[in-house]
Each structure stands twice: as C-alpha cells, then as structure tokens.
C-alpha cells in the first residue's frame, strides 16, 4: 500500500469510502510526511518495541509505526474507520486494530498479553477533546510505560512542560512532571492536517520516570493542594487553600506551614516548585 501521508492520497481514501469526519471524535488527519518522520524520531521506536497507537484514523501514522516497531496495536473508537484501516494496513502483518474507546480499554491487560508486562511505548495524534484524561489516565494508572509521544494542542504541550513562575505553569504541569520528563519535539501548524484544526499543535514526548522526583507522604493530598492552589490563580496561596471546598485548613494552619517552609504569607501557588508543594503537603498533614 502506498503511503497515506499526503493530501491527495488522504482525500482519495476518504472519498472512495464515503467517510464523513466526526467533529465529536476530534478527527484531524495528518497529511505531512515530514511531521510523521519527526514523530517517529521523537518516539525512538525500534524493532524491539510493542507500540500502542491511540486513534489511528485512516492509518497514516500506523503505517510508519508498523515499519519501525515489532508490533503495533491501534485503538480506534469510530466504527466507520475500521474497514478503511483493514484496507490501508492490509500489507502489515504486525498490526492489530481494536474498535474501542481508549478510555475503556484495559491497557494493563493488553501490555501483559502483547509485551509480557514489560513497559510499552504509546504514540498518537490525539483527539484534542480528551487529551488530558488520556495522558493522565496512562500516567496515573499503573500501566507499564516507557514513553508517550503524542500530538496535542500546542497550548497543552506548553502547559505540560512549563516551570514555576510562567503563565503556562499549573496543575497539569505538576501532574505530568511528577510522573514523566517532558520534551517538546516539534511545533506543527494547522495546514499539516485535513481538516485543519482551529489551533496550533505540537508533538510532546513524556518519558516515564522510574521514581517520582520528590518524596511525599500522601500523593493524593499533594495533588488536592495543587489543584486548589491553581483553581484561584490570582489569589495568594493562603486564600486559595482557605477557600477550597475540598480542604479544611484554617488560615493559621496554612500560614504556619508556609512559615515553617521559609515561604512568605503572600506567596502565590504559581511560584511554588513541585518540591515545595510536596513539603507543604507533608507540613499540612502533620
Ligand atoms: N492518527 C490519525 C492521523 O494522525 O491522521 C488520526 C488522528 S485524529 C486527531 C484522532 C483519532 O482518534 C480519530 O481517528 C478519532 O476517531 C480517534 N478517537 C477519538 N476519540 C477516541 C477514543 N476515545 N478512543 C479511541 N480513538 C479515538
């Protein structure tokens, strides 16, 4: 099968199969071979790898993955794409297509079956409406993972890799960086897709950490504090935490914990590092 990564071939497949784009599934198909080469380089796929692809569409990226990896499982929610994928990927014996919602798939079971429980690589041009639940679901659940290399909305990629004190820094930055090391591999303009998305895109690789970069007694409490700190960005940390419905600390308790950590009473959450949030969670837990 000829490569799909160009506008002519993509349009031909779509028209031949009378395929209708479904907005609700976030369907923007890649039509640029250079972008696909950049994704492959960032993902560092080798013939030893089992790759899980999320949302193969008509199989454009799957063709590249099939050529680089040992085995690929591609999970696509849209039933009308399955016969198309069966045709475009017919010549690759190392590809399995699953018609499922990725949010409902038992990925740990798939990893056991396909890769003997060893860490896998996840790759995808993600549907933007569920980027965060997909990525955080993979990181938070105990799925054996080496890396996630995905196309996301550019703004989301910037938030994932942002550091303290920047405008993009927030709960997503801290959650992602607790589990993984982000690397922004490429910026991708709208004209690399059919149809063109209304936003810029970027390829980000998240390399799973072997161990978290900070020690904290209660991870859950730390992430509740983080979410509460950024829910009211413009407020001081004391006010943000004091007003949070899911927390029950007095102003005095929060001020005391900040003083013990050598932080000012007027500090804002957006300036705190992950280490400082971990220390604050421990201090408030005592
Ligand atoms: N990989 C293809 C490409 O690069 O041309 C398509 C990418 S498109 C941005 C996202 C794909 O994810 C679509 O094919 C869409 O139908 C699929 N998708 C959307 N939601 C999904 C879900 N919950 N589970 C699995 N696939 C999903």
What does each C-alpha distance from 81 to 4, 17, 124, 127, 150 come to in angstroms? Answer: 14, 9, 16, 15, 20
Q: Which atom of ligand 1 is nearest to the CA of 62?
A: 1
User: Which run of H or E residues covers position 97?
Assistant: strand 95-99
What does each C-alpha distance from 138 to 95, 208, 259 come to in angstroms? Answer: 21, 10, 36
Give residue ranges with CB within 6 A of ligand 1.
25-30, 54-57, 60-61, 75-78, 81, 101-103, 125, 127, 130
What's the pLDDT score for residue 61?
98
Q: How far apart are CA 6 and CA 35, in angstroms?
A: 11
What's the pLDDT score for residue 70?
98
What's the pLDDT score for residue 232?
83
Query: Which neighbouring-strand residues pair with 188?
Result: 201
What's the pLDDT score for residue 269?
92
**Candidates 5, 10, 57, 191: which one to mutate for ligand 1, based on the most atoms within 8 Å of Cβ?**
57
**Which ranges of the chain have pLDDT less than 50?**
none
What's the pLDDT score for residue 2?
84
User: Which run of H or E residues covers position 53?
Assistant: strand 50-54
What's the pLDDT score for residue 286?
72
What's the pLDDT score for residue 162?
97
What's the pLDDT score for residue 243?
87
Instruction: Give the residue, by CA position, lying nearest to ligand 1 atom 17.
Output: 55
What's the pLDDT score for residue 173?
97
Instruction: Give the residue, by CA position, lying nearest to ligand 1 atom 18.
Output: 55
| Closest among 225, 227, 216 to 258, alpha carbons compared | 225
- The region, left, alpha or beta by phi > 0 then psi within -120 to 50, assigned to residue 26 is left
Distance from Cα 123 to the centre of ligand 1, integer Å: 11
Phi–psi pair at 105, nearest 5 degrees: -80, 140
What's the pLDDT score for residue 1?
72
Longest dimension (CA), the chain: 68
């Amino acid at each position: 099968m000829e490569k799909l990564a160009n506008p002519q071939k993509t349009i031909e497949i779509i028209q031949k199969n009378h395929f209708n784009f479904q907005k609700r599934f976030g369907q923007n198909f890649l039509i640029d071979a250079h972008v696909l080469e950049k994704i492959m380089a960032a993902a560092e796929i080798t013939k030893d790898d089992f790759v899980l692809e999320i949302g193969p569409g008509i199989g454009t990226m799957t063709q590249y993955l099939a050529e680089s990896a040992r085995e690929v499982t591609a999970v696509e929610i849209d039933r009308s794409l399955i016969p198309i994928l069966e045709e475009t990927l017919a010549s690759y014996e190392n590809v399995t297509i699953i018609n499922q919602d990725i949010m409902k798939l038992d990925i740990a079971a798939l990893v056991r079956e396909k890769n003997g429980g060893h860490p896998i690589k996840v790759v995808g041009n993600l549907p933007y409406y569920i980027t965060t639940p997909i990525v955080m679901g993979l990181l938070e659940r105990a799925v054996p993972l080496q890396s996630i290399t995905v196309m996301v909305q550019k703004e989301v990629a910037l938030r994932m890799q942002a550091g303290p004190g920047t405008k993009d820094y927030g709960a997503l930055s801290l959650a992602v960086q607790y589990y993984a090391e982000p690397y922004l591999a490429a910026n991708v303009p709208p004209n690399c897709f059919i149809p063109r998305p209304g936003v810029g895109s970027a390829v980000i690789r998240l390399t799973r950490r072997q161990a978290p970069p900070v020690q904290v007694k209660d991870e859950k409490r730390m992430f509740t504090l983080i979410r509460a700190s950024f829910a009211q960005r413009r407020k001081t940390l004391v006010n943000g935490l004091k007003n949070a419905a899911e927390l029950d600390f007095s102003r005095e308790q929060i001020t005391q914990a900040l003083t013990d950590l050598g932080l000012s009473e007027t500090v804002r959450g957006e300036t705190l590092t992950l280490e400082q949030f971990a220390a604050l969670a421990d201090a408030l837990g005592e």
